A = this chain, B = another copy of it.
Amino acid sequence: MKKPQRRNPRPVRPAKGERELIRRIAALLPGGGRPIGFGDDMARLEAGAGGLLWTTDMLMDGVDFDSRAHAWAQIGRKAMAVNLSDCAATATRPVAALCAVALNDGLSMDDAVALFRGVLECGTEFDCPVSGGDTNSWAQPTVVCIAVAARPEPDCAPVTREGARPGDLVWLTGAVGGSLLGRHLRPEPRIREALEINRRLAPRAMIDISDGLAVDLWHICEASGCGAWLDESLLEAAIHADARRLAEKSGSPPLEHALYDGEDFELITALPADAPGETCAQLGLIRVGQFTAERELVLRRAAGTCEPVEIRGWEHFRA
């Protein structure tokens, strides 16, 4: 569901590529309805309040990781973490995982075991045992595909992208930007934070930042039928130190990195305007903007001017 950051992000063009493919898949589904589960963070596996949800993410060598630069244990950890981040995005608790691999023929047995060790250790860290999988090999680059099932906490419904309303505030679980300096390799799924937010703050909508703050916030806006503004002054507190460091190299302002870099895996959540500030502070949340009725994404500059935020990120499949 998530598209990790690429070195060369391309703008999302609506009605093309992956979104068009998802639309056409949706048309094949019974009722021809909205493509629930494709493009969402998790899909329903069981009906009912406490029913299981599940998700799958496929990572490919040369696209989502680089086996020439990254250790296999790190790659395995990342493959599990991006799936667990989908659980965080829906405020559900992971139950178990499956892990299927197509290993490049050149991998040694030790590399293959290291890959699985990374997967299993990350699972253990978040109480998500790996219950099975499928091991294959081939002459092409390595592919890792994980599926995770998760369950909402008792009396807490899963959070979707759909419920944000004009007037709700935009909050982040942490500072963003510059993940390419290394954080992209060790994503920290915000599951505990998400469960706390869901239990204490009645969030209206939530998503994890995989493609970037701007585009992932826009995903909430699209699903919720609203827009949002982000405030430059508020965003100061949400610019990661890595974004500032990367800005020195890239020449782009740190704010650009905060808005458009991907693979942070912090959460964006829509909270009611009257959400208790003390609780938000206890949870380390950072307020960066507000949802609006106008279906556009706007940056309010510290100088008082407004400008549109670009909706850009990576999109797969552009046939």
Residues on A close to B: CB < 8 A? 1, 3, 18, 20-22, 24-25, 28-30, 36-38, 40, 42-46, 52, 54-58, 60, 62-63, 95-96, 98-103, 105, 107-109, 111-113, 116-117, 120, 124, 129-141, 143, 145, 147, 149, 316-319
State how many copies of this chain the complex holds: 2
Among the interface residues A36, A58, A99, A140, which one has the most CB atoms of the partner chain B within 10 A? A58
Residues of B within 8 A of A29 (CB): 120, 129-130
Q: Which residues of B contact A38 (CB under 8 A)?
A: 132-133, 135
Instruction: List the B residue with the shortest CB-CB distance to A58.
Output: B100
Q: Which residues of B contact A22 (CB under 8 A)?
A: 135
A24 to B, closest residue via Cβ: B113
Q: How far is the CA of A62 from the CA of B60 in the complex (A)?
A: 17
- Residues of B within 8 Å of A120, CB to CB, are 25, 28-29
Instruction: List chain B residues, Cβ under 8 A from A21.
Output: 109, 112-113, 116, 135
* Secondary structure call for the A interface: mixed
Contact B132 A43 (CB under 8 A): yes
Q: Quick check: B36 and A136 within 8 Å, CB to CB?
A: no
Q: Is there contact, CB below 8 Å, between A137 and B56?
A: no
Kindly identify which residue among B37, B99, B112 contacts A132, using a CB–CB cutoff of 8 Å. Answer: B37
Cα(A103)–Cα(B52), bound, Å: 28
